[in-house]
Amino acid sequence: MTLATGTPLPGRRACLVAALTALACRHQAPAIRSGDLEFTGAYSFAPVTPDEASVYFRVRNLGASDDTLTGANADIAASAMFHGIIADGAMRRMTRLERIPLPAGGSIILEPGATHLMLMHLTRQPKPGDSIAVDLEFRRRGRVRLTVPVRPYGTGD
């Protein structure tokens, strides 16, 4: 298992442009590149329950080899897992995803109301302005650490 350290991308200009229109960068992590993987838009909301929080981000596979997201850990939670949303009659409920494929040239998008990283049994309550250290495990790339900023609940980008 290789330990990959994310390095900032020269994506600051795009970020500044976005900031002029929507203040997109105030509560979003800068783009991170780790090998062939590019991470953007990582954030979490300050949790509304004392026990759980959700983390969102996008990762793009710029390489020629498929990868798979297989797990995660966070410094503020005793456990973390990926959840998808499935329709169950008129209800929508969360279901655990053991792994999420990341094909060559493809993306994984984690966002509110869809696939997300669920942090459970929080050992610390993150507040707006805090950041969470999240370690992601990829079958091919190994471990990648994201620094995830915490937004006030429900604030958009």
* Binding piece for Cu ion, criterion CB under 5 A, among 15-23, 36-44, 111-119, 129-137: 111-119
Q: Could you please report the per-residue DSSP string of 73-111?
A: EETTEEEEEEEEEEEETTEEEEEEES-EEE-TT-EEE--
Q: Does 81 bind Cu ion (CB under 5 A)?
A: no
Segment near Cu ion (CB under 5 A); pick from 5-13, 66-74, 87-95, 122-130: 87-95
Cβ proximity to Cu ion: between 26 and 93 the closer is 93
Instruction: Tell the smallest beta-carbon distance from residue 25 to Cu ion (Å).
Output: 26
Angle formed at CA 135 by CA 29 and CA 64, multiple of 5 degrees: 80
Determine, following the binding rule CB under 5 A, whether residue 118 of this chain makes contact with Cu ion.
yes
Q: Which is nearer to Cu ion, 32 or 132 (CB)?
A: 132
Asked whether position 83 contacts Cu ion by CB under 5 A, the answer is: yes
Choose between 65 and 95: whose C-beta lies nearer to Cu ion: 95
Q: Which stretch binds Cu ion (CB under 5 A): 3-11, 21-29, 75-83, 143-151?
A: 75-83
Binding site for Cu ion (CB under 5 A): 83, 94, 118
